[in-house]
Amino acid sequence: METAEIRRRFLKFFESNGHTVVPSAPLPAIEDPNLLFINAGMVQFVPYFLGQAKPPWDTAASVQKCIRTPDIDEVGKTSRHGTFFQMNGNFSFGDYFKEQAIRYAWDLTTGSVEQGGLGLDGDKVWATVYLDDDEAIDIWHKQIGLPLDRIVRRGQEDNMWSMGIPGPCGPCSELYYDRGPDYGPEGGPEVDEDRYLEFWNLVFMQQERGAGPAKKDYEILGDLPKKNIDTGMGLERMASILQGVDNMYEIDEVRPLIDKASELTGKRYGVSTSHTASESHPDDIRFRVIADHVRSALMLIGDGVVPSNEGRGYVLRRIMRRAIRSVRLLGYDKPALPELLPVARDCMSKSYPELAQDFDRISSYAYGEEEAFLKTLKHGTTILDTAVAETKTEGGKTLSGSKAFELHDTYGFPIDLTLEMAEEQGLSVDQDGFRQLMTEQRQRAKADAAARKTGHADLSAYWQLLQEQGPTDWKAYEGLVTESRVIGILSEGKPVPVAKSGQIVEVVLDRTPFYAESGGQHADAGKLTGPSFFGEVVDVQRPVKKLVVHQVRVLEGELVLDDRVEAEVDSEWRLGARQAHSGTHVVHAALREVLGPTALQSGSFNRPGYLRLDFSWRSKLSDETRSEIEEVSNKAVRDDLPVSVKYMTLPEAKDFGAVALFGETYDETVRVVEIGGPWSRELCGGTHVSHSAQIGPLVLTGESSVGSGQRRVEAATGMEAYRYLARERDLVSQIAEELGAQRGDVLERVRAILQRSKDAERELAGLQAKLVSGRASEFAQNAKQVGAVKVAAVQAPEGTKGGDVRNLAMQIRGHLPEDQPGVAAVVATAGGKASIVVAANAAAKAQHVSAAALVKAALSGKGGGNDDVAQGGGVPADQAPQLLDAVVRAIAA
Ligand code: ATP
Ligand code: MG
């Protein structure tokens, strides 16, 4: 049965049993700060299970795309672990429970194919249950009829599910399929998890757990008020069973990739005849790694991840590199992805048609990454080989941590690649040393970042203030002025009672209208005024959540703890900030309108008059595209679209179509800023204008690359945009005036001038060459007799270029008498360095006078060429005469 068919039957089965079919969430786990990728079907439903949000349905079913990074190292070595896989799940939110869940799983899997089931042989199914879950045992045994010897009790670590932290938990029951003696020893899942293949896990969420270790030895606190069901059936594992293949890499959605790789490399897949994954030949493992990783990369890029050096992008980069390396190790050294990726697309687009539609974008990232990696590989391999050779000559067996770090830091060589390649050459790598250096680097970066924001890296003083005084009453959305009380003053990170004129201190107020830098928006500027104090607010940060800290320069008087002050944001500044931030949303929406929804913002920054926006896009924007984006933006300004703010839960915001950004973390209630209704909907905490016309003109001032697959646009907003245009206009006026031309003719005139200057340069160069060669015969006539050899030793006229020096030497040689040994030596100086060219005639060579030897004599062994003509240089210009002397001396000797 095809994988797509199993998937279809699964959804149909649960739909006809009243479940709502919910689409898969995208792979990047944008809502969970602790997770890079969705790794189970239940992840998108977590707020419902935790009781944070009310589920819109009582029961649901989905086929969730999953990535499990911890399983990457298992790929190909077991029969059942994919980096990417699909988890089919049915869920009950306080509706049905244990009995029905078990019944559903049994009926679907063992139900006959004719009647919509999967047709598994029930006699080969085993079930595990939690130690004391007698209820589950009863259901399996008495109601389903599973014999007791195929029901296995397992402990907390295996069969008690939780999220690793306090919260819901519950026993689970896993379904296994016995694949027979070819796959390993008898005895059930306790004995062999490869022969007995786990294909479905049923979680009975019925209790609440306490703190403690993630997986076991934690306390169970009591029963949940509402019991839930969460299940996960591995689609690929089920497919491998139903298709009768040895492992999940040989199913219809993956196997064609193995075959293609085999065709490319000329190596055979299936070297080992054993069915057991643990007895696989290394080549077979490589084939599976290639197939798994190429497919995973396709799915990841399809969901908006692009290769980069951190986070999700790094996982993608790692698996792509591993796939590419594996292909090369199997003997194919051309770019492989253009051959493999379309195969993966054809396998997967049955279930995910968007992959085919979006394939141009996906493949351009993938192929670009492979090209870049092949370059890195070429370059880094030389460095690695040198390091390996050095280590070996010194009799070492371990490549140093600092070498590995250098390879990583300078050449982009991931550590696993270094490990793999060093191992191939019989060396291990000092991983601890490497990790130490990485940690140090990371800590430096972290401390730097913290220090840049707050002046120091220790946050304890802030935490203490927050604990004692509570969160800041934050009024940035409501006005520009508040009456406030000074509840904390910090100098160099330490609490102080008072700050004097001239000092810069950090000030915490009970209430503030100041916007602290966040979400890409620069901090507000403004002032604090007290009865006997005046200070300027130069920065505002939120070093810990909910605590606003003002950096204040005391200009007059003294600021004393507990003072009453007036906090006032500079209204011009705030207007500029609102224009810039709304402008950022407008440009983002315009980008997406012009380039499509994949041009997703990855970072932004704005302050009055200026904005920049980084987004995922591989190629440089053409001038036309830039103009189009600018025009769409300015039309949105002209249309005077209303800007509005709504508060809602995160799932609501997503349904609403609000753009949430990868890698951002959001609170439970989010703020959605709309410009022109659905045209621009973003989760955002910034300050905005109320109508788009208030943004004023938007002028794109720059477009550049910021790392792989990321572009940046910059724009001027409001008055700054006007000033920018005015400056450009003045510049053109000045140039026109300087040229004595009409403004409209400037471009043509400049082109003409450039052309003329190019022509003149060329002419000048010709004249110079002629001038120099015109003197060749004069130089030859002045040649001196050194022993039997006529030597013309000449300093070329200042400014003679490299090629001309050589010509001059050859021409002088041509003017020397042929019947007598003759040598022309010409030195020239340029850019503070002297160089020399020596040309010897045939008669000289007959006397064993070699041009190359003479240059080497002058340059103490350096230089290159042959007996005829040779050259060298690189010595300081003032040594030019010595070079000639040295040649003459060498001839005399
Ligand atoms: P295993 O012990 O075999 O790694 P697991 O206990 O980690 O499995 P669960 O977390 O219970 O698996 O996930 C539910 C189901 O998802 C499993 O029963 C299995 O069918 C499937 N599954 C889990 N991990 C993978 C993977 N890496 N590749 C393919 N399918 C998987
Ligand atoms: Mg696992």
If you measure from the C-alpha of residue 236 to the centroid of ligand 2, how many angstroms do you get, rounded to a whole number?
A: 14
**Residue 232 CB less than 6 A away from ligand 1:** yes
Which of 100, 295, 125 has the alpha carbon at shortest distance from 204? 100
> What digits encode the pLDDT tens for the residues 242-301?
999 999 999 999 999 999 999 999 999 998 888 888 888 989 999 999 999 999 999 999
If you measure from the C-alpha of residue 71 to the centroid of ligand 2, how many angstroms do you get, rounded to a whole number?
A: 7
Looking at the CA of 71, name the nearest ligand: 1
Residue 749's identity, in one-letter code, is R
If you measure from the C-alpha of residue 354 to the centroid of ligand 1, how many angstroms do you get, rounded to a whole number?
A: 26
**Residue 230 CB less than 6 A away from ligand 1:** no
- CB atoms under 10 Å from CB of 39, counted, come to 21
**Residue 177 CB less than 6 A away from ligand 1:** no
Q: What pLDDT is stored for residue 408 in this prediction?
A: 79
Looking at the CA of 128, name the nearest ligand: 1
Kindly state the average pLDDT of the residues 79-106. Answer: 96
* Predicted structure pTM score: 0.58
Using the predicted structure, report yes or no on whether residue 444 has a pLDDT greater than 70: no
If you measure from the C-alpha of residue 662 to the centroid of ligand 1, how many angstroms do you get, rounded to a whole number?
A: 26
**Residue 98 CB less than 6 A away from ligand 1:** no
Contact call for residues 322 and 293 (beta carbons, < 8 A): yes
> What digits encode the pLDDT tens for the residues 619-654?
789 999 999 999 999 999 999 999 999 998 877 887
Q: Is 646 left (phi over 0), alpha (psi -120 to 50) or beta?
A: beta
If you measure from the C-alpha of residue 162 to the centroid of ligand 2, how many angstroms do you get, rounded to a whole number?
A: 14
- Provide the CB-side half-sphere exposure for 817 (13 A, CA): 11
Say if residue 169 carries a ligand binding annotation: no
pLDDT band at 422 (very low <50, low <70, confident <90, very high): confident
Using the predicted structure, report yes or no on whether residue 769 has a pLDDT greater than 90: no
pLDDT band at 662 (very low <50, low <70, confident <90, very high): very low
pLDDT band at 34 (very low <50, low <70, confident <90, very high): low
Cα separation values, 811 from 767, 769, 807, 839, Å: 16, 12, 6, 9
Tokens found for residue 684: 């955002």
Looking at the CA of 73, name the nearest ligand: 1
Say if residue 456 carries a ligand binding annotation: no
Distance CA 659, CA 670 (A): 12
Three-state DSSP state, 236: helix
Cα separation values, 731 from 602, 702, 740, Å: 34, 18, 14
Q: Ligand 1: which of 120, 237, 293 to mutate, most ligand atoms within 8 Å of CB?
A: 237
Using the predicted structure, report yes or no on whether residue 366 has a pLDDT greater than 60: yes
Q: Are strands 533-544 and 547-560 parallel, antiparallel or unpaired?
A: antiparallel
Of the segments 214-218, 269-273, 498-502, which one has the largest average pLDDT value? 498-502
Which of 237, 210, 215, 244 has the alpha carbon at shortest distance from 155? 215
Could you tell me how far CA 846 lies from the centroid of its own chain?
A: 65
